Structure 1
Amino acid sequence: MFKQFISTVPGADVYMIGSFLTFFFFFMLVGLYLLIADKGHIQRMGRLPLDESTDAGAPVL
């Protein structure tokens, strides 16, 4: 089925390469963000759903 898709759709290879590059760059940007991000902020956000001391309506700064 996949070979039929490639052979019947003109320019399918361009779409496949474009989608791969989009995924790859997005994945790399998220990974870079996680390496650079403040670890304290990530830990606070990770504990947020379990923390009962904060008000649900108040924004967390």
Structure 2
Amino acid sequence: MIKIDDMQIPAERYDNVENAREALKKDEVIVKDNEGIFWIVDNENFPKIEAYGYERVEPSE
């Protein structure tokens, strides 16, 4: 769960991008926060957290 102010976004936390890529499902994106932690969130929730420093990671780099 990603918590920003009073907003809670369902998310799964991963220590590295390889594990996140293996767990990624359709309609989900991998994001990285300011602390270098990777998360998987639904596509529709990404715009809600993007302004808070979460950046999208390409699924197959």
TM range (shorter): under 0.3
Larger Rg over CA atoms: 1
TM-score (norm 2): 0.22
TM-score (norm 1): 0.22
Q: Which structure has more helix as a fraction of its residues? A: 1
